[in-house]
Amino acid sequence: MVVIGVRLAASGPAQSWLRRIAAHWWRERAGHRPDILVATRLADSPDAVAPVAAVTKAVTGTEPGLTSAAWEEVPGHRHQVLVCRGPRCAARGAEEGLRALVSELTAQRLGDDDVLVTQTGCLFPCNQAPVAVVQPDDVWYGRIDPGVASRIVTEHLAGGRPVGSHRLPRHRKERAEHHDD
């Protein structure tokens, strides 16, 4: 059996996790266990699958597990950004916004202790897609493009001021007030 990770977007699976998951599956099997080979790099297009499959490393069962003492505690981040990856957000450019968000976090030197970025399923204000939410501030953003994503990092996450131009009203009262403008 050959396991190949395919990353068609910036947020594909991490190569190290493919080995961990394949080894976990292999260790958990009773009786016959098939030989498992894991490609040593990810394919980034359908045409790259065959060349990537040509260079593999066998799973031995000694690979790290799915748990670690380092992952025992809740992370100490100040903010968590939930990035919608539902179908409408994905179709309207969530990937590009996510790339810009991560790039700007890196440029601002904001790591996992500062901001934890989590991709989610549908967050529902689909007509505002792509959508992202900053917690614990309870600030919802819509129509996130790369420029807006960079501003969210610079102005909100680093500067402490939500980006008003793309902030979505959160409560019914706010929606009513927002429509009066």
Average pLDDT over residues 171-176: 61
Phi, psi of 123 (to 5 degrees): -100, -5
Query: Would you say residue 76 has pLDDT above 80?
Result: yes
Euclidean distance between CA atoms 29 and 23, whole angstroms: 10
131-167 burial: b if 16+ Cβ within 10 Å, else e: bbbbeeeebbbbbbebebbbbbbeebbbeeebbeebb
pLDDT digits (tens, 9 = 90+) for 111-164: 888 999 999 999 999 999 999 999 999 999 999 999 999 999 999 999 999 999
Query: Is the per-residue pLDDT at 165 higher than 80?
Result: yes
Mean pLDDT check: name the lowest of 4-13, 96-105, 143-152. Answer: 4-13
pLDDT, residue 69, reads 87
Output the pLDDT for position 71: 82
pLDDT at 8: 65
Contact between 23 and 66 (Cβ < 8 Å):
no
**pTM, to two decimals:** 0.74
Average pLDDT across the chain, whole number: 90
- One-letter identity of residue 110: L
C-alpha pair distances (Å), 40 with each of 1, 36, 58: 14, 13, 10
pLDDT at 68: 87
